[in-house]
Amino acid sequence: MGNGEKNLWKNIVHLCTTQEKTIASAESCTGGWVGKVITDIPGSSRVFLGGIIAYANDIKTKLLSVPATTIARYGAVSFETCEAMLQGVFTLFSPSYAIAITGIAGPGGGSADKPVGTVYIGVGTKANYTIYQCLFSGNRKQIRTQSVGFAGKALLSLLTDASSIIPQKNIQNTLSRKYTEETL
């Protein structure tokens, strides 16, 4: 990660600290990278509750309660699986904000419908979150780096109420959920 990405996560940790907010994550293709960049920052223990690396489908099911039927029907890389991973984070950690990432970093594993670089990134609160379907380009490391950076920018946009910082060029589609207290 470059200095820009490090500063992004420093800003997130600072804002969460001052706002007394917490973060937790579930990661597949990024392999715990979100947790790593957050915990690289001194003082992050006040805001980062923890993360699950759910690389294998059975771990998504066992630890995050992603229904096996969801994975079978939609695939491990889908809106539905990412949303279920995000809900699993809320159930396990009860954070203020959650991040979930699942995707195809390559070099293999892609298809016509879901090419290499397809990544679903879920970010938000339990009551208001968005799942982004992104398409990143580059090699495996670049796709993973872009995924972590995008997740950070999406979270920072929530913390600062500035949606303009989310890189629109990578977004293929979105799924947003907003709940009221009655529906939670």
Structural domains in the chain, sorted by start = 3-176 (3.90.950.20)
Q: Cβ of 128: how many Cβ atoms within 10 Å? A: 12
Place of tokens 């790593």: 36
pLDDT band at 46 (very low <50, low <70, confident <90, very high): very high
* Cα–Cα distance for residue pair 86/80, rounded to 1 Å: 10
Q: Does the pLDDT at position 6 exceed 60?
A: yes
Q: Do 33 and 5 contact (CB within 8 A), yes or no?
A: no
Q: Is 66 helix (H, G, I), strand (E, B) or coil?
A: coil
pTM: 0.92
pLDDT at residue 161 in the model: 81
pLDDT at residue 3 in the model: 66
Mean of pLDDT values over 134-162:
94
Q: Does the pLDDT at position 36 exceed 50?
A: yes
pLDDT at residue 27 in the model: 99
**H-only helix segments in the chain:** 3-19, 33-39, 57-64, 68-74, 79-93, 140-160
Percent of the chain that is helix, strand, coil (3-state, to 5): 45, 20, 30
Q: How far apart are the first and last CA of the chain?
A: 37
* Cα–Cα distance for residue pair 5/154, rounded to 1 Å: 13
pLDDT band at 179 (very low <50, low <70, confident <90, very high): low
Q: Do 147 and 103 contact (CB within 8 A), yes or no?
A: yes
